[in-house]
A and B are shown apart, each in its own frame.
Chain A
Amino acid sequence: MSEHEYVPKSKAAKWFNDRLPLLTLGAHLTDYPTPKNLNYWWTFGGILTFCLITQIVTGIVLAMHYVAHADLAFGSVEHIMRNVNYGWLIRYIHSNGASMFFLAVYIHIFRSLFYGSYKSPREIIWILGLLIYLLMMAAAFLGYVLPWGQMSFWGATVITNLFSAIPLVGDSITTWLWGAYSVDNPTLNRFFSLHYLFPFLILGLVVLHIWALHIPGNNNPVGIDIKKPSKDTVPFHPYITIKDAFALLMFMIIFAGFVFFSPNVLGHSDNYIPANPLVTPAHIVPEWYLLPFYAILRSVPDKLGGVILMFSAIFILFVLPWLDTSKVRSAVFRPIYRQFFWILVIDVLMLGYVGAMPAEGVYLALARVGTIYYFLHFIVVLPVVGLLEKTDPIPMSISEPVITGGAEPSLARKINEKV
């Protein structure tokens, strides 16, 4: 790649770069050859980086005014909203930012599922991404507890009680998590500490995620390997940066719409009632981005079984690269898989919907069907379809997307070398 040729122009820069090759890194990132056919679904990596930085910056600022004490937390949030200069703006960016972060990460994940970005040689990128996603869920949950409203308190109670399903040691673990005999001030205090920690762990994993990405390079909508740099690639800057910037701005318009015009629509009104350990709200619902998993949890009539199934729904994604037997990456050339992909999208959306509804009657039935299908998709559909499916002809290079006849990788390579 081009960074090997990079030599700083000035002597001082060369002196510095020999000792710490930051300039080489900068040049690598700038010139990084990127497939030129990336569509807008590929802009969500940049958008997610923006989301993470926004959450970290606004979070550090909020921590300057927030008080992590059961008696004072709710009031300190009101203090931020009413007294702190621009406090309302910063808090609304942070609280809506969490939702926007998840919106972007779900699009990012489903993009990967559609175009087969998790497949060899990108398994590690995929696994790092899942770890980021897990930490995001943990950070979001911990953060939701901090305002110490009714949903904070009861959400914390319900989620920490999941651990009590573990045989023998469950109760001890739950008490240990609480630091008390219920969710209480010690719980709030440690949740605040961990909520401050997790984003920096995520940041570290993001660096690894991008590092791992830069080894094989980006996948692309066609899903074929490309030679870099070549006619099929463009330098990251300015081509990809400007495209990412455009997509990010569109995303920010939606973000701003929520922050300024309906800042509480994604939250729950009960969280403006101070935490009360004596009264549980009528409907306990997690934030929208956790609803599908919540539906899976509730679809099982057994405490331990529900918890195991819910965690399995996430952990099954870790072995996804080995469950998918297809040699073709992109769903563009996989007519059967493509249909199952959309069914999975609908299935997850439906699980999200029933997760927000009371767990009874038709909702429970739907949740069960949805849960079974979710697992079937990964355990049965993916391996079987991969083996049986007749894929469409694959182009030899990005520049020549329309070809006749089957894929002939060796031929493609020859053509690429001529360019």
Chain B
Amino acid sequence: MTPPPDAPAVLCRTSTVDQTRLLAGAVARLAEDGDLLVLVGDLGAGKTAFTQGFAAALGVEVPVTSPTFTLANRYRGRLVVNHLDVYRLSDRAEARDLAIPELLEQGVTLIEWGERILPALPSDRLDVKITFGDGDDDRLIEIRAVGDRWCGCLAELREALGPWAGAQRVFR
């Protein structure tokens, strides 16, 4: 994945999957209708766990399950939450068949493996990259604001992520 090199990022660390969910919830509280989050990370990194915390913070009460096979799930909370996984799509034409622009019109959309279809996505987005740390449950979570929407609320984002991001780890 090649995000714009100058896009501002916050680097966070979590050491349990529940912390990852809490962190996601903190981001969700800044979310608005029309927002897009691209979730990047290897198998088992915690992309679905992130979405679970995100949706729960928006008041979604049903279990948020993996969309790998179902491809697109929709939940209703304070906002509509669209949860997609494009791993199994082989090209951008299929991304069109998922009607992503139409999905984005309503609610917040989180796309697992979204880096594979970046050209089909709007340029305003939050990139969430999850990588494995040293311990089994340690994760590094890099959150990068791309475009005006998220760059415009960077201060709030940094504040929300404060508990997981040491000041020295906030960088441009």
Bind each other: no
- B: which residues have CB within 8 A of A? none
